Every structure is written in C-alpha cells, then in structure tokens.
C-alpha cells in the first residue's frame, strides 16, 4: 500500500521533462495520470528512482481537428474523450473504448497518453490506435519524431518509446465521409481488464465497398495486435457478414491468448471472432450513418 521513496520533479516545460528523463537513463518514470504507475508502486512491483510529473506542463491536454488529423494531447484525461462531442460524432471508437476503461473515477485522472503508451496488452486504446492508423509524436532531448502506432508496440510493456522520450500528441487521420468505427470489449465485470477487445475502423467508397479497414485486438497477445491479414481481406469487399466472418477468422489466427483468471485461451480465441463480427457490423452501421 505504501510506495517506496523516489525523487520527484514537476517540470513546467517539455524540454525540462525530457532532460530529466535523459539524466536518469531509464530509472525515471513519467507521472501523468498515475493510474497505472502508482498502483504498481504501491505494491512495490516497480521502484523507479525518480518520477517526472508532467501535469504542470501547459498545453499538453487538448482534442482538436485540423485539416489532416485529429490531434489529442498526451495528458488529455480519458473521460475527456467521453465528454467530447467531436469524438462521439466522428471518432466513436474512442468514446466506445474510453467508456469501458476502468471506472469513471480512474478515468478522471488517467490520461489518453498513458493508456496508449504504457504497453500493457490489456489497455484498450492501443488497439484503437492500430485500427485508426494513429501516429505518436514524441520528444527527446535531441528533437521530435513521429512513430506510427503499428511500429510502436513491441512486446509486453516494451514500446518504441525510448527512456528519454516523452509522448506529446496522438495524431489520427481525420474522419472522412463513409467512415465508421467501433470498439467492443468483453469483460468479466465492469471496470475489469478485458477478456478480449476488438477495434474496427472501416472507410467505404462511394459505391459502398470497403476502401480501407483497420482491425486490432486487445488482450490476446503480448501486445495489442493488428490483424493485417484480416484488413487486407476486407478491402474491396462489401461490408457484409460474409466478408466479416472471414476477416474474423483471420483475426483469430494471429492470437496467442493465455489461460488465466479471465478465461481459458480457447474461450478468448473464440471470443475474438464473436467480438470482431460485432465490432465490424457496428463500424459498418456507423459508416452508413447509423449509430
């Protein structure tokens, strides 16, 4: 219940923050919402030498659209996704997911950046990032770079983020006409980690066939998984059950779920199919202007 001691910094600029991270060479952790970090520190499963509290850095929390992208600042609170009419109207996959992350109290503190970059295969937003084709803007002492989500998740708790880098912004391709997306989560009890989660994003041509597809999975592998084969299969097809069934089967094939307190592997694999179908149908309905 009691965390170990650490050195504490509350920088007021991004540059200061990354310099401190650099100085500690991997032994400092970023404190944003703290809803993943502080619990593991309280159990003494993690004992970082230093915490870099980024909550005092201005202009890191925003949700805005420009000509090309939806841009979400890293310290945007998870509940802000729920509260945003823009997100509900044009990127409902994110409010679907946000609505199911932990509980409302945790969501008031937990950040989008934290959920996206923690590297926990049970976090819900990474699959959404993969399905949407997101990019992450990160800063280090030497400059800024952009990492595509599909290159970001390397292994359980291992991401492409270097220990001296700070996630600044999430960029998602701007919503287009004919686009619909959804996130579906199966859990043992509300607020729990997912048994399985599926994120689906469809963009339809004016003729109504699938122009591009994003399909990604939560909690059935060492990281969130992008179902590339399934996505390829969907392109050019009619957004109907036949194509979705096949895509769901492709998605199942890439999974390596573990049997644990949230179900046997066999069940999780079967649920990938069930949820993929539900997510694709809902994304398609939204692409057609439904809810």
Q: Residue 233 to residues 124, 183, 254: CA-CA distances in angstroms?
A: 24, 20, 14
Residue whose CB is less far from another protein, 123 or 171: 123
Dig out the tokens for 157 from the structure.
Answer: 């708790």
Confirm or reject binding of residue 192 to another protein (CB under 8 A).
yes
- Short-list 197, 125, 117, 122, CA closest to 152: 117
Sole window of 172-180, 185-193, 213-221, 234-242 interacting with another protein (rule: CB under 8 A): 185-193
* Rounded least distance, CB 244 to another protein, Å: 14
Does residue 186 bind another protein (CB under 8 A)?
yes
Q: For residue 200, report the phi and psi dihedrals to the nearest 5 degrees.
A: -130, 140
User: Between 14 and 132, whose beta carbon lies closer to another protein?
Assistant: 14
Should residue 4 be labelled a site residue for another protein when binding is judged by CB under 8 A?
Answer: yes
3-state DSSP assignment of residue 283: helix
Q: How far is the CB of 157 from another protein (least distance, A)?
A: 17
Distance CA 213, CA 131 (A): 8
Residues of span 54-83 touching another protein by CB under 8 A = 55-56
Binding another protein (rule: CB under 8 A), the pick from 29, 34, 219, 223 is 34
137 within 8 A of 148, measured Cβ to Cβ: no
Instruction: Verify binding: residue 189, another protein, rule CB under 8 A.
Output: yes
Stretch that binds another protein, among 101-109, 113-121, 139-147, 242-250 (CB under 8 A): 101-109
Contact with another protein (CB under 8 A) among 12, 144, 205, 245: 12
Q: Are strands 28-31 and 50-53 parallel, antiparallel or unpaired?
A: parallel
Q: Is 141 in the site for another protein (CB under 8 A)?
A: no
Beta strands in 68-209 (DSSP E): 69-73, 135-140, 143-148, 153-155, 158-159, 166-173, 179-187, 194-204
Q: Which residues pair with 138 in a beta bridge?
A: 145, 167
Per CB under 8 A, 6 contacts another protein:
yes
Distance CA 26, CA 109 (A): 24
Residues 102-121 vs another protein: string with x where CB under 8 A?
A: xxxxx-xx------------
Q: Which of 2, 45, 242, 291 binds another protein (CB under 8 A)?
A: 2
Q: How many CB atoms lie within 10 A of CB 256?
A: 11
Of 26, 141, 191, 236, the one binding another protein by CB under 8 A: 191
- Separation CA 285–CA 277 (nearest Å): 12
Which residues of this chain interact with another protein, rule CB under 8 A? Answer: 1-12, 16, 19-20, 23, 31, 34-35, 38-39, 42-44, 53, 55-56, 102-106, 108-109, 186, 188-192, 195, 261, 263-264, 267, 270-271, 274
């Amino acid at each position: 219940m009691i965390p170990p001691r650490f050195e504490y910094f509350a920088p007021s600029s991004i540059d200061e923050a990354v310099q401190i991270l650099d100085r500690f060479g991997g032994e400092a952790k970023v404190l944003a919402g703290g809803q993943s970090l502080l619990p593991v520190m309280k159990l003494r499963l993690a004992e970082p030498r230093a915490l870099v509290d980024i909550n005092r850095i201005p202009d890191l929390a925003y949700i805005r659209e420009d000509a090309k992208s939806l841009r979400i600042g890293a310290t945007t609170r998870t509940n802000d996704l729920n509260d945003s009419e823009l997100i509900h109207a044009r990127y409902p996959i994110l409010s679907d997911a946000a609505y199911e992350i932990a509980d409302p109290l945790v969501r008031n503190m937990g950040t989008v950046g934290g959920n996206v970059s923690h590297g926990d295969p049970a976090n819900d937003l990474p699959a959404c990032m993969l399905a949407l084709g997101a990019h992450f803007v990160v800063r280090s002492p030497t400059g800024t770079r952009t990492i595509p989500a599909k290159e970001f998740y390397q292994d359980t708790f291992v991401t492409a983020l270097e220990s001296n880098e700070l996630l600044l912004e999430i960029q998602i391709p701007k919503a287009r006409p004919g686009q619909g997306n959804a996130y579906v989560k199966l859990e043992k009890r509300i607020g729990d980690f997912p048994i399985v989660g599926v994120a689906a994003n469809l963009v339809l041509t004016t003729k109504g066939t699938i122009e591009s597809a994003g399909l990604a999975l939560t909690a059935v592998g060492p990281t969130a998984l992008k179902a590339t084969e399934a996505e390829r299969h969907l392109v050019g097809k009619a957004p109907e059950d036949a194509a979705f069934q096949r895509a769901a089967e492709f998605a199942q094939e890439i999974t390596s779920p573990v049997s644990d307190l949230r179900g046997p592997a066999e069940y999780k694999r079967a649920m990938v199919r069930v949820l993929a179908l539900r997510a694709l149908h809902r994304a398609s309905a939204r692409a057609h202007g439904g809810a």
